[in-house]
Structure 1
């Protein structure tokens, strides 16, 4: 449903309470008291046939007796009554309801539906949005709205808090109030029958009252919708996530290493990172991160300089930084020399910079000036312990102007209590992130680092098909089709390698042999030395049953090894069927690293890619990273960098660095494979040998299943890739012109395009006068997810050789893909030359291909060019609405 009618939920002008009561301790009485006591200025309508008046309000017998349709209804009646009440509300004209009642998912009506489904069915014809059921409710402090049965009100502020847990809602509400933390929206989702994280994030992304969004997540049910909304929100404001359920018990049981390793929490972590959000592990970190990120400056590197008046706190901060994977800055020799001129001889002569405990305020100022001038650091952490020599407040006043005016991030830690209280206040009022301990300060700095890293990942839009390698998709499909036709789900090693080879992944030469003598013959053809492995559907991991023999140099050795493996399999796994043997060329690569690359299918997020240290002890080392496809070079490099084995791959001592380009290419090839082939639900390459000469797959396993033929292979992905297939080049006015979907890197050209528009053109597009695009607006226009939204640009090289944007057509579809709203803008100096029609036709063709039923839009009556354009394309144009705009509609069915 997305944001349709959510304005009635989050900004109502009238509220009805169905099930209002005066019975002490009841939900109906508690909610009525909260509604009446929070300062809500709109109308409040209690509904209960038992009363004529409640809490000083007139009480109504039923929904039908209400004097007007309420914007928002709260329902706290018994479960069996809820569906009928929802239907009455819809008929009455209500468009948003909060179902506080629990238990609807476990009870059934006479038609066999759960009461929850019955309520959804009742709401659907009226687009009546439902929050809950089984939720605490909603608070909007800025409106004085407490539509909940929480025990206290929320303070007003600019943080939106969204939670699946009712208990956490009330606990956090109490915790935040005691600390003076305020909220723009405080939302309990409950069972999320209708309104879920995706809907709320879509609303909050453009909510001017909200500056940051906090999420408490237990589970996500609609991955594509969640990722689309989360990425849109994270482009415009910080989104911080506290995800419950981090323990490995949630990992799936699977036959492959990848399936076992890609645990549920790993997948959520990958999704949160990829969406540009920040994950924290505690409730306190949740709110601390908001304050830190709100005060953070752009971060262009990760090197931290530490300035302290005591060696111990500096060491503590360094330990915390290095342990967490942070980077300590190496100060330049010039900075060290100049510091030596202003500091006592006993100073630390390195980072952390210990300026000694007797430092006067001037020494602090001089030191900070030098550190701010050093380009070898990207942020500064200041740590101060109180002394009897100089009051901490004097030091704060001396350096606060420098810190406030710094171009890089500056964080502070004032150790102590009353002695540093005034200094802490001075820094906080100056907008400087301030912490109580060195460890907290380092954690705050790393939150900025990780948020920046995740925001960089958010900017990546890999294409649906890579241009870096050619894949033989048809060849791979034939192999898989033959396996499925035989009623099998696991490919043999030979078949698995054939599929990998079709996607350009180097594999060792491998032959299948049906029996011992065929294995001997295969070894003769391949050439020695060889490796021989059993092929048995029941032996998931061959080495566990002695089913692998390496470095076989003679025919007799091959024969003996095959006979020995056959006998051992029968002893250890009597029920196993020996299909045959795989015989492969031995790869002599003594300096190679054993890696694992694989894919698994998550029940919520679909395909996931895994990379890490491989070998038979892969589950024990647990050194791996997980990412969501599609991947490009940047995303693949980030994935490798999150593993410990990455340091080994960089080379050490006499061992040369591995070919990182080959490793990254393999990850992208696996990403392409699982994107192209929906039948592949699990695969392992273990080990993938990697050295300076490249990579080669020694062993491979692959599990397949029949795919949904009516769906696109890309529908399985939680993130829709950049649709390269929609690019085309046409001739326009005698010159080539590219029409393609917009990309994040089009930002500068899009800004120049906007600046070239006349004031009237901007007003026709935005319906308001605007002088410039804000960074969040620019991100909103250029960073789209290609799922619910599509924007085509007309682009070509300008006079300076740089690409310039000449026009944009954009369409945003509702989640049901029924209606899509369009907008079109052509550069002011190119109007009337046919470019608008070209862009609109591109948009119409795209919507028609996606099955959208209609394209709609609005235009000011003065915008005669657009009105003439859409009429020529078959649009219906109706009279001006109450808002003074013309309604434009093109049916596509």
Structure 2
């Protein structure tokens, strides 16, 4: 993952159009015209071996003939020419190219070598970045650059749009222009050979001219790279995505229920949610959502207060809200009292509030003020239907100050056509989110709620090792290893249950019998009633052949059940092996709910976790929610809330509520198992019985294969590396050294506030008074794959106060794991006491262990203390970078 040379790509001082042409309607002619007539003020060099002049410009017959190395080359020549051109441009000093040519991945350059691979190999020695191939090109309206063969220009604005589809790129460009929507960047990514969504998200996240990032995605190749960049970008600005192909995209193995239930789109949805992004269903929703999020204040809650001058519109909005999974606000008693004083006695005081067709400006104003101050209301929807008794423009003008000063988001719907346009404009200018219909206003509010939840999930960083239980990982490794040594992919049910028990998941008492006679003996020992289940390595689902018999109440019934199971197997699956029978105590709770907890391996995002309603008909019911590991308790709680079965878990009629915490903890334990044992590729706990007393796994199935990668390398999201934590006792004080976490934001801000002006100057190479929100986010909310920050923390000054940050050491590693850029901050009153040495040594050891080749630190020449520390720790001689900045390098590998 890298943004190297992307600044040159999007801010070039000169552009060469290679393959420029005078043939009408050709790509070369269109690109040259667009570059010359889009408002770009840099140098433009047409390149074509046939001409002396093109489009009234001097033409150059080759790259070698160019007067300088262009910053950007736009290439539209045949596929076979591309690798050679890239190599020649790289040697000359060009560092970015847009390859419009199609067909590179299908044509070969030598035996079995793709031209695309040859192109990338030619670019690599020069760090030349490539957009495409098979790209329509890119537009950067802020500098007038249209390096594309699109049929029109883009308007300037603050939205960045990235598309994987070329045809969609041009269609959206045309649609956005008619709507007056402007862009900071409009980019067709093409085949993503080099620059992909991850690179672009990293670049745009820190682009001051971009307020929101919009994505059209067809597929993702590198899940961890994408998730890392998406999570980082979403912490800085809204990211909204449309993903095509909402139906199932790939056939999953059906060795487990989870494998059958997990559709590709479900996994993408879970990934977008976990990355803090907002998913839109249509391209029109994409732009509406971006505009809404740009204007949105933080939601105060998830309940919506609705007020309208008529019952019908309020009911329509309520229907849209409830059917869409939202909820009405439950107004506080003080709010109801205020409303009561404003409404006639004939009108109900319930949400939605019908203010009557004769509602006055005073009534509207009073109710809006009351709802906008209600502690239980997350946002307010104001609906106004045209009335001869009240001019909508005058009402909007009167409500504008209330909207402007409201601490809640105000959504408005001015019903009507042209007569309502002025009222809409007045409300919008005052800060309201304004929509044409009640349903669209409610849809926008629900999108805001989803975005709020996704942003909360983004802040969760589950640990890499268990905290609330002690798993017996070694036992699991032995069971899995034995199965693989035997050539088996499926663990037997007793083995699967033993795996769950090793991770402290409660399992039903069970024993294994080889014969019907042994079944009767074990049933007598366990105590009736019991269940008898088939054990066969060849049958994925026992119930398919009648391999489960429940509620057995005598030894004779037990042995008869075993014989009948064996007969059914021989009849329906004569080739299947019968390895024995599992005899289990029957779970006694009649009020329990049957759940399914599972894990499957997605071809893109790796392990995914499933939760839903369990039982034999689990595929037919289709009640499921998907999440990405690792999970902690808050993430597990959110996962459960998305399944329909969660409503039953709350209890109803005479059935008590299930033990929710036990369910959440079981999901966390399952997540930990997935993180620890990479050989597990599919897993079902079905059913997991949940009741008021806890949970109990009644059946389980696990599929294993040789692990292609280390345990955590296959996860799309790397967990918080808890194993890197350490403690030091110093002068009676405990100092905890650990990786930074998102909740350290305030502590880091306090550390900055404690620094002297001189220390701020030394650390940030200038005087800054405060850290911006994006600076705080970039420092505290890191991806542990590409960055590491160790903090030194002590308890707060008084009991019950939060930890205090004493210092922080930061290292950002380049995508090739060659160089780590290092920086350190220590409280001004603690400098010179050895803390900086400890933090730096810890970072050096960490980078050395991960195989990083070297570490560099940039120091101002008058920062004597830091220069002394660096030299004592082995950094080499300082090299001048200009402006009083020195660069020191430490070789980590020999």
- Shorter-chain TM-score bucket reads over 0.9
176-185 or 575-584, larger mean C-alpha shift: 575-584
8 A contact 2:384–2:413 mirrored in 1: yes
1:60-71 alignment, distance < 5 Å: 60-71=60-71
Q: What is aligned with 1:18?
A: 18
Per-residue CA deviation, residues 141-161 of structure 1 (Å, 9 max, x unaligned), is 001010111111100101000
Q: Does 1:864 align with 2:849?
A: no
Q: Distance in 2 between matches of 1:701 and 1:860?
A: 60
SS state at 1:490 partner:
coil
1:593-612 alignment, distance < 5 Å: 593-612=593-612
SS state at 1:330 partner:
coil
Q: What is aligned with 2:159?
A: 159
1:159-198 alignment, distance < 5 Å: 159-198=159-198
Q: Does 1:799 align with 2:797?
A: yes
Per-residue CA deviation, residues 328-367 of structure 1 (Å, 9 max, x unaligned), is 0122343333323222333232111111122222221122
8 A contact 2:300–2:379 mirrored in 1: no
768-777 or 881-890, larger mean C-alpha shift: 881-890
Of residues 714, 717, 721, the one that matches 1:716 is: 714
| TM-score (norm. length: structure 2) | 0.98
Q: Distance in 1 between matches of 2:195 and 2:761?
A: 33
Q: Does 1:39 align with 2:8?
A: no
SS state at 2:341 partner:
helix
Deviation of residue 249 (structure 1)? 5.3
Deviation of residue 106 (structure 1)? 0.4
Per-residue CA deviation, residues 209-260 of structure 1 (Å, 9 max, x unaligned), is 1110001111110011101000000000000010111113545242210011
Q: Distance in 2 between matches of 1:228 and 1:553?
A: 55
Q: What is aligned with 1:548?
A: 548
Deviation of residue 793 (structure 1)? 0.6
Q: What is aligned with 1:632?
A: 632
Q: Does 1:832 align with 2:832?
A: yes
8 A contact 2:612–2:625 mirrored in 1: yes
Q: What is aligned with 1:28?
A: 28
1:676-687 alignment, distance < 5 Å: 676-687=676-687
Q: What is aligned with 2:787?
A: 789
267-276 or 61-70, larger mean C-alpha shift: 61-70
Q: What is aligned with 2:472?
A: 472
Q: Does 1:266 align with 2:249?
A: no
Q: Distance in 1 between matches of 2:767 and 2:310?
A: 55
Q: Distance in 1 between matches of 2:766 and 2:320?
A: 50
Per-residue CA deviation, residues 661-689 of structure 1 (Å, 9 max, x unaligned), is 11011000000001000000000000000
Q: Does 1:204 align with 2:198?
A: no
Q: What is aligned with 1:614?
A: 614
Q: Distance in 2 between matches of 1:872 and 1:731?
A: 24
SS state at 1:64 partner:
coil
Task: Give the 3 Å change call, closer, same or farther, for CA 623–382 of structure 1 in structure 2.
Answer: same
Unpaired segments ≥5 residues, structure 1 = none
798-807 or 2-11, larger mean C-alpha shift: 798-807
Q: Distance in 1 between matches of 2:759 and 2:42?
A: 38
Per-residue CA deviation, residues 169-213 of structure 1 (Å, 9 max, x unaligned), is 111111111111100011111100011010000101111111100
Q: Distance in 2 between matches of 1:521 and 1:56?
A: 97
Q: What is aligned with 1:589?
A: 589
SS state at 1:413 partner:
strand
Deviation of residue 757 (structure 1)? 1.2
Per-residue CA deviation, residues 545-586 of structure 1 (Å, 9 max, x unaligned), is 111111111221111111111111111122222222111111
8 A contact 1:510–1:584 mirrored in 2: yes
SS state at 1:594 partner:
strand
Q: Distance in 1 between matches of 2:412 and 2:577?
A: 66
8 A contact 2:879–2:888 mirrored in 1: no
8 A contact 1:533–1:583 mirrored in 2: yes
Q: Distance in 2 between matches of 1:651 and 1:468?
A: 26
Q: Distance in 1 between matches of 2:737 and 2:332?
A: 49
Q: Distance in 1 between matches of 2:110 and 2:773?
A: 54
SS state at 2:878 partner:
strand
1:66-105 alignment, distance < 5 Å: 66-105=66-105
Q: Distance in 1 between matches of 2:681 and 2:80?
A: 42
Unpaired segments ≥5 residues, structure 2 = none
Q: What is aligned with 2:512?
A: 512
8 A contact 1:362–1:398 mirrored in 2: no
Q: Distance in 1 between matches of 2:6 and 2:17?
A: 18
Q: Distance in 1 between matches of 2:830 and 2:538?
A: 67
Deviation of residue 754 (structure 1)? 0.6
Q: What is aligned with 1:123?
A: 123
Q: Distance in 2 between matches of 1:558 and 1:5?
A: 72
Equivalenced residues, count: 891
Q: Does 1:697 align with 2:688?
A: no
1:430-829 alignment, distance < 5 Å: 430-708=430-708, 711-801=709-799, 802-829=802-829
| TM-score (norm. length: structure 1) | 0.98
Q: What is aligned with 2:343?
A: 343
251-260 or 501-510, larger mean C-alpha shift: 251-260
Q: What is aligned with 1:300?
A: 300
Q: Distance in 1 between matches of 2:825 and 2:655?
A: 57
Q: Does 1:414 align with 2:424?
A: no
Q: Distance in 1 between matches of 2:263 and 2:785?
A: 27
SS state at 1:248 partner:
coil
Q: Distance in 1 between matches of 2:370 and 2:347?
A: 15
SS state at 2:220 partner:
coil
Q: Distance in 2 between matches of 1:671 and 1:342?
A: 53
Q: Distance in 2 between matches of 1:69 and 1:472?
A: 61
Please report the RMSD computed on the Cα atoms of aligned residues, expressed in angstroms.
1.3
8 A contact 2:413–2:434 mirrored in 1: yes
8 A contact 1:201–1:233 mirrored in 2: yes
Q: What is aligned with 1:399?
A: 399
Per-residue CA deviation, residues 623-644 of structure 1 (Å, 9 max, x unaligned), is 1111001100000000000011
Deviation of residue 767 (structure 1)? 2.0
Q: What is aligned with 1:281?
A: 281
Q: Distance in 1 between matches of 2:341 and 2:683?
A: 61
Q: Distance in 2 between matches of 1:272 and 1:883?
A: 43
Deviation of residue 731 (structure 1)? 3.0
Per-residue CA deviation, residues 453-504 of structure 1 (Å, 9 max, x unaligned), is 0000000000001210010000111111111111101000000001110000
